[in-house]
Amino acid sequence: MRKLYIITLIFFCFTVSLTPKSSENFYCEYCGNRFNSVKILTSQNCMHHPNGNYKGKHKLYEGSEKDEYTCKYCGNKYKTLKQLTSSKCIRHPNGNYKGYHSPAL
């Protein structure tokens, strides 16, 4: 009975480790939108792309999920990546309010 329990436990652990993570989130660095896969993220145009609205694809945010996101230009802090990237930055390299906040990694 004990061997059967151990074998069942090992099988369960192995099966769980092979199950794909459906709860993993991928974010766009430009607009903060969340996607379920990198493929979907990189296949669609982004409304906050540096070349202009919808003039380029989303870019994968390479940082980790955090409780607070900081702008790399001005240091302002926001609760979500979407909030950070949705407003213009006073210290943007293109000029005051000429570009959106960008997340610091």
How much is the average pLDDT of 70-83?
97
User: In this structure, are residues 82 and 33 in contact, taking their beta carbons and an 8 Å threshold?
Assistant: yes
Digit-coded pLDDT (tens) for 17-52: 444 555 799 999 999 999 999 999 999 999 999 999
The reported pLDDT for the residue numbered 2 is 56
Measure the CA–CA gap between 31 and 65, rounded to whole angstroms: 15
Can you give the pTM of this predicted structure?
0.74
**For 51, which DSSP code?**
T
Q: Which residue is associated with the tokens 């000029």?
A: 95
How much is the average pLDDT of 47-72?
96
Q: Cα angle at 47 between 75 and 21, to 5 degrees?
A: 80
